[in-house]
Amino acid sequence: MKVAIIGAGMGGLSAAIALRQIGIETAVYERVTENKPVGAAISVWSNGVKCLNYLGLREETERLGGMLETMSYIDGHTGETMCRFSMQPLIEEVGQRPYPIARAELQMMLMRAYGLDDINFGRKMVGVSDGPDAATVTFADGSVVTADAVIGADGASSITREYVLGTPATRRYAGYVNFNGLVHTDEAIGSATEWTTYVADGKRVSVMPVSDGRFYFFFDVVVEQGLPYRRGTAREVLREHFAGWAPGVQTLIEALDPETTNRVEILDLDPFDTWVKGRVALLGDAAHNTTPDIGQGGCSAMEDAIALQWAFKDHPDDVHAALAAYQAARTERAGDLVLRARKRCDVTHAKDPELTARWYDELRTEDGTNVIRGIVGNILGGPLTPVPS
Ligand SMILES: Cc1cc2nc3c(=O)[nH]c(=O)nc-3n(C[C@H](O)[C@H](O)[C@H](O)COP(=O)(O)OP(=O)(O)OC[C@H]3O[C@@H](n4cnc5c(N)ncnc54)[C@H](O)[C@@H]3O)c2cc1C
């Protein structure tokens, strides 16, 4: 059995490691010529951490992860604490601590675990097709490979998806842009062991710890799609959007490095149930592109990888049966996370301002129970985090 994986993002690499764990021959093809992840960090929630543990990366994940002990919401205007609570009940309920991790480090951990030399960099897929005995991938350099199965982990703008669905899928602008980066931790912004979120006016500013005394920060701003933006101007832009906000937010704006601050328009895709065409299957953002509002896109990609391994374990000699089992195991769960994120996105970003005002009121009386219930609801339902019966 030989499986070709297109894309060396967190989905493709997790899948490659997972398939190799059960003795399947894998080949990973990545269009970029070097590892340059877009984005500063991600929160790997407990379901994602369990996947990394399963892939043999427990110690390294713990080393790279930030220590989240508490969570707080702060009124963006006044700086008043709306609520603060421990993460411990969440950890106890799901049996695993979550870890925010710098993207470059997460990516490098996965690449090393698979083998940097085993990744075929600079190989941009331009075509994929299914056949009775093998699937075929064509690359921009004219080379062609065949494999028993092709896994398209080629991200949100996947061309594998276009092949599987038979038509391009249009992504939807979620209504906001996200500025993100890394800064040194600073108590004037938030506690070094807390996920701190400032909210007001449908905007949010958040910091959470990653390893080595750094915060992963992000700002969400509701603006129209396609506004011009010049890299390096984040400070001026954010000063304007957050004029008059609390001192912690101003400190963060002054501390960030405008040159390394990313600006991302947030899009997602309606869930769909066809992930497989013959010997070709989708995985990760290619299959379920979500807004980052519940921090589950990458975790879901890692869940796909584990489910794919289990499907091949159950059907070692039958690619079609394995991919059908993979699709059956994943579409509902992944689609559910996309829709949960969309719902959260709308409340956070004041799609209906009354609903958002009500959420702010609720936060002022929150003891953690409701927020944690929501996060646990996201975490449960994956291959390694079954919903208790
Ligand atoms: C602002 C933001 C914050 C986020 N925060 C979180 C979070 O906190 N927690 C979380 O779990 N998720 C988060 N996500 C989502 C997460 O980043 C994605 O779900 C995850 O990166 C998906 O991994 P992937 O491997 O499927 O795709 P990608 O990471 O996009 O990787 C796809 C790879 O395929 C390669 N590729 C593409 N086309 C080709 C081709 N034709 N040929 C060869 N190679 C190709 C690309 O170069 C890339 O390396 C966030 C996303 C955003 C935008």
Kindly state if the Cβ of 9 falls inside 6 Å of ligand 1.
yes
pLDDT tens-digit series, residues 325-357: 999 999 999 999 999 999 999 999 999 999 999
Centre of ligand 1 from the C-alpha of residue 12, in Å: 9
Average pLDDT, stretch 221-246? Answer: 98
Average pLDDT, stretch 128-155? Answer: 98
Q: Which atom of ligand 1 is nearest to the CA of 124?
A: 42
Residues 6+ apart with CB under 8 A from 297: 285, 288, 289, 290, 337, 341
pLDDT tens-digit series, residues 83-102: 999 999 999 999 999 999 99
Closest CA to 220 of 239, 199, 235: 199
Domains of the chain and CATH, by start: 2-171+268-379 (3.50.50.60)
Query: Considering the chain, what percentage of its residues have pLDDT values greater than 70?
Result: 100
3-state DSSP call for residue 173?
strand
Centre of ligand 1 from the C-alpha of residue 198, in Å: 26
Centre of ligand 1 from the C-alpha of residue 168, in Å: 18
Q: Terminus-to-terminus CA distance in the chain, angstroms?
A: 36
Average pLDDT, stretch 55-75? Answer: 98
The confidence score (pLDDT) of residue 37 equals 72
Q: pLDDT grade, residue 34 (50/70/90)? A: confident
Helices then strands, counting H and E runs in the chain, come out as 12, 18
Angle between helical axes of 234-241 and 247-255 (0-180°, round to 10): 170
